[in-house]
């Protein structure tokens, strides 16, 4: 009997020691220490898409007193991931599955995968598009930390550090690691990740309807300074319907939603880095360029006028008139005799002139004897 009592006592102390050495760890949720005015729905149930932190009065997000706590929990559907807030290198999202949608490639790859909650929402999104004549294709979904590091290191080897930071996301800063993000394209842009996709029928439909299924255009146009990434109309991120609808209606990014929009600006100013793109192959991205304005038509240089061809001779063309022959005076056998000069008659000799008579009126001594006395 004493043996049983002794054995019981020993067993009791052994079990007590186990409990003391390994106390039960309390479950820690992201809602701990959150304001009472918020409700945080976070659990591992992938069917519950309302995995998000929402204020009772969503308009308070836009006020000066922002009260939406920053969500950096890796497994949360509303986790903020960017150049400043990184994911751990060992984080692998739960419940990765392949959605039943069309892809731009046929081979098997991890980039087909998404978290189940995002995969289910993507199927509904694509189906809604097909009903309206919009055909979308998946291009690249989940991308592990190791895969992102491989891409980044390869770019550094070929481009250098500065050029790589301008086109590639650093490991841990890519949303693709969450399993909640996928790049989408269409046949109209030949399945490329092209900024002009945003101007296509498919791109416009996606931007206007993604929030109805819990997705947002994560890097919208005109928000590069806030997100740290260039405009990517193909990059959609699942955040749940409630948050997606709110961000869409108020034209907000996740950075603005959490009130940390200045964090990326400060990082950019500090590191003098350029906006990045969150894609697997930066060389596959085609940036939209402004359509060139039509150049004014340059008036063509007038061609030199050809010399007019001489008209062909026809029968109607008058022949050249022959020059009249100059008629020479008839030649004479003998030269013309010079005219005979007529001899002038000899001058008749005249008498020597006598003294002229004196003027009768001029001589006072003259007496006219014939005058009557």
> Token digits for 260?
């940390």
Contact (Cβ atoms closer than 8 angstroms) between residue 156 and residue 164: yes
> Token digits for 81?
């991931």
- The CA–CA distances, whole Å, from 32 to 43, 69, 88, 142 equal 13, 11, 21, 29
Helix (H, G, I), strand (E, B) or coil at 115: strand
DSSP code, position 142: -
Rounded to a whole number, what is the largest CA-CA distance in the chain? 241
Q: In DSSP terms, which residues pair with 300 in a beta bridge?
A: none
Contact (Cβ atoms closer than 8 angstroms) between residue 201 and residue 211: no
232 is catalytic: yes
The single residue of 49, 175, 202, 232 carrying the catalytic annotation is 232
C-alpha to C-alpha distance for 283 and 164, rounded to whole angstroms: 11
C-alpha to C-alpha distance for 3 and 102, rounded to whole angstroms: 71
C-alpha to C-alpha distance for 15 and 208, rounded to whole angstroms: 61
Q: At what angle do helices 116-131 and 201-209 cross, to 10 degrees?
A: 130
C-alpha to C-alpha distance for 145 and 136, rounded to whole angstroms: 27
* Strand-strand pairing, 193-194 and 285-286: parallel
C-alpha to C-alpha distance for 125 and 115, rounded to whole angstroms: 15
Which residue numbers are catalytic? 232
């Amino acid at each position: 009997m004493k043996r049983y009592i002794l054995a019981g006592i020993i067993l009791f102390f052994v079990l007590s020691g186990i409990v003391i050495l390994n106390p039960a760890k309390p479950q820690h949720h992201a809602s701990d220490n959150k304001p009472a005015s918020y409700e945080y729905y976070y659990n591992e149930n992938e069917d519950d898409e309302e995995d998000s932190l929402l204020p009772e009065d969503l308009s308070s997000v836009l006020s000066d007193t922002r009260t939406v706590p920053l969500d950096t929990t890796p497994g949360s559907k509303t986790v903020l991931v960017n150049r400043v807030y990184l994911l751990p290198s060992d984080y692998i999202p739960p419940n990765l599955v392949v959605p039943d949608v069309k892809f731009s490639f046929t081979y098997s790859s991890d980039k087909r995968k998404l978290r189940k909650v995002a995969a289910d929402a993507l199927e509904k999104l694509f189906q809604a598009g097909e009903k309206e004549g919009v055909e979308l294709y998946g291009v690249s979904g989940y991308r592990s930390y190791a895969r992102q590091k491989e891409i980044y290191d390869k770019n550094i080897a070929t481009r250098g550090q500065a050029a790589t930071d301008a086109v590639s996301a650093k490991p841990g800063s890519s949303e693709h690691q969450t399993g909640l993000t996928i790049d989408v394209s269409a046949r109209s842009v030949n399945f490329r990740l092209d900024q002009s996709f945003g101007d296509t029928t498919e791109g416009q439909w996606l931007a206007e309807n993604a929030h109805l299924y819990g997705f947002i255009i994560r890097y919208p146009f005109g928000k590069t300074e806030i997100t740290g990434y260039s405009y990517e109309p193909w990059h959609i991120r699942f955040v749940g319907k409630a948050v997606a609808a709110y961000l869409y209606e108020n034209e907000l990014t996740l950075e603005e939603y959490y009130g940390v929009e200045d964090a990326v600006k400060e990082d950019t100013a500090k590191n003098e880095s350029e906006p990045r793109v969150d894609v697997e192959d930066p060389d596959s991205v085609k940036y939209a360029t402004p359509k060139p304005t039509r150049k004014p038509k340059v008036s063509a240089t007038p061609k030199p006028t050809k010399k007019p061809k001489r008209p062909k001779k026809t029968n109607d063309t008058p022949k050249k008139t022959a020059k009249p022959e100059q008629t020479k005076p008839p030649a004479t056998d003998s030269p013309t005799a010079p005219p005979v000069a007529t001899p002038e008659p000899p001058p008749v000799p005249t008498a020597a002139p006598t003294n002229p008579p004196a003027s009768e009126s001029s001589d006072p001594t003259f007496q006219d004897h014939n005058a009557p006395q």
